[in-house]
Amino acid sequence: MAIVTTPTKACAVNPLKISQPIGGAFAFMGLRGAMPLLHGSQGCTSFGLTLFVRHFKEAVPLQTTAMSEVATVLGGYENVEQAILNIYNRAKPEIIGICSTGVTETNGDDVDAYIKLIREQHPQLANFPLIFVSTPDFKDAFQDGWEKTVARLVEVLTEALPAEAERDPARVNVLPGCHLTPGDLDELRTILEDFGLKPSFLPDLAGSLDGHIPDEFTPTSIGGIGVDEVASMGRSSWTIAIGAQMRRAAEAMQAKTGVPFRLFERLCGLTPNDEFIAFLSEISGRPVPAKYRRQRGQLADAMLDAHFHIGGRKLAIGAEPDLLFDLSSMLHEMGAQVTAAVTTTQSPVLERIETKEVLIGDLEDLEELARTRGCDLLITHSHGRQAAARLKIPFYRAGFPMFDRIGAGHQLSVGYRGTRDLIFKIANLVIADREENHRPTPDSWRSWSQPFRPGGLSVIEAAERSIA
């Protein structure tokens, strides 16, 4: 049972948090033919765009209403109208998703009313999907933006099931949290299809940001779930929500279409996947394919091989709540101690993180805690690189953004196979660090009587680890 604390300092140093509208825009990118639009000054979009491009190494659709100082004072109706018309005429999108920012929330633009007016003024837009989500920068974080946007997509786009319509017993809705990568979604799709199920992912980043090469140049998203498919999600027999952040969308789906849901807070680790596979077997009425028996065995073996290296490690982790919960729980189950945990925003899972205290803070806090508590494994997004260099401890990059390594879109953590590979990667980092930085020397044990590091490893422990 962890206590959640918030910092008292006035200056955030080395932010961990990414702003809410970026998370909202990210969710829209999982729809086919989508153009996310940030209602704010052009910098809001440009910074977000740079983050996405550097993370995925892909062209990313993201537009701006380009609010000027004058427009901010007078209200942004004209900017929203022009932006929608320009995008509609030039990019020929299937959906435009609008997220507000700090500027336009501060001046109080009523975008829902604007949209209503725009539809009246321009009949060609009367039934065109225009979805607005309120995502001020000065509140919440990336994950919240995603959560709100997916819930909104469900509320607006799905259609209630007509009384006479039949549900498709094989069809399943999947609502993935923003901590899953396109690679994770592909892995889940394979698993579900192996049980004879037909999944619809909302959003489906695996269709748009998996790096495939489109035949034609398209200014909008190049794949993902179509608006028509979202509309028909009410025909599914189940909704699977992944990550606590997706509860809201799953509940909205149930309220509107009556599709029952099951929430999986985690899909990394042995036990969560056992539950997941058991559930799939149950709803599909099929026995678990032999493939997954083998994968489970492989994961078990990976745990056996890796526990020597991960067991006892003191983990410092900075991530958004669902990713934090997922990874820290898995490593806790591998014998690591979750020693420093920092996150960006409130969430019901935080209390259940296997540590004493979870801080809603920044990377300065994480670095400081890691130093004073003698952590020897760091997990956070790419911005942790400076802290890792100063702390001189193994660093595994997880979360968004990951701009200084390639392959971010295909980093796996779900399923038996994904967990297995992740465990190998982290264990190998630990091994490499030991070989490079902790080789035993004739003096390794000489000073054993002196306290080594307050709160850190004991000398003997440290020395033994060096040799192991």
Interface contacts to other proteins, rule CB under 8 A: 9-15, 17-19, 21-22, 37, 40-51, 53-54, 57-59, 63-69, 71-72, 78-80, 82-87, 90, 101-103, 106-107, 136-139, 141, 213-214, 217, 219, 383, 386, 403
**Distance, CA of 270 to CA of 253 (rounded, Å):** 29
Nearer to other proteins, 232 or 284 (CB): 284
Strands (E) in 81-138, as ranges, are 95-100, 130-133
Nearer to other proteins, 56 or 416 (CB): 56
> Which bin fits 175, alpha (ψ -120 to 50), beta or left (φ > 0)?
beta
**Smallest distance, Å, CB 194 to other proteins?**
18
**Smallest distance, Å, CB 381 to other proteins?**
11
Residue type, 52: F
**Smallest distance, Å, CB 77 to other proteins?**
11
And the tokens for 9? 């300092």
How many angstroms separate the Cα of 71 from the Cα of each of 65, 106, 130, 260? 10, 13, 21, 45
In Å, how far from its chain's centre is CA 273? 18
Nearer to other proteins, 62 or 244 (CB): 62
Nearer to other proteins, 90 or 356 (CB): 90
**Smallest distance, Å, CB 431 to other proteins?**
29
| Peptide bond connecting 203 to the previous residue in cis, omega within 30 degrees of 0 | yes
Nearer to other proteins, 310 or 370 (CB): 370
Residue type, 339: T
**Smallest distance, Å, CB 227 to other proteins?**
19
**Smallest distance, Å, CB 283 to other proteins?**
20
And the tokens for 151? 């819930």
**Distance, CA of 401 to CA of 395 (rounded, Å):** 15
Q: Which residues, 6+ apart, have CB-to-CB distance to 126 below 8 Å? A: 119
- For β-strands 337-343 and 63-64, DSSP reports them as unpaired
Nearer to other proteins, 63 or 173 (CB): 63
Specify the residue for token string 């994961």. 299
The long-range contacts involving 109-112, CB below 8 angstroms and separated by at least 24 positions, are: 109/39, 109/75, 109/76, 109/77, 109/80, 111/39, 111/76, 111/80
**Smallest distance, Å, CB 20 to other proteins?**
8
Nearer to other proteins, 135 or 181 (CB): 135
Residue type, 26: F
**Smallest distance, Å, CB 390 to other proteins?**
9
Residues 35, 37, 41: CA angle, nearest 5 degrees:
150
Nearer to other proteins, 54 or 307 (CB): 54
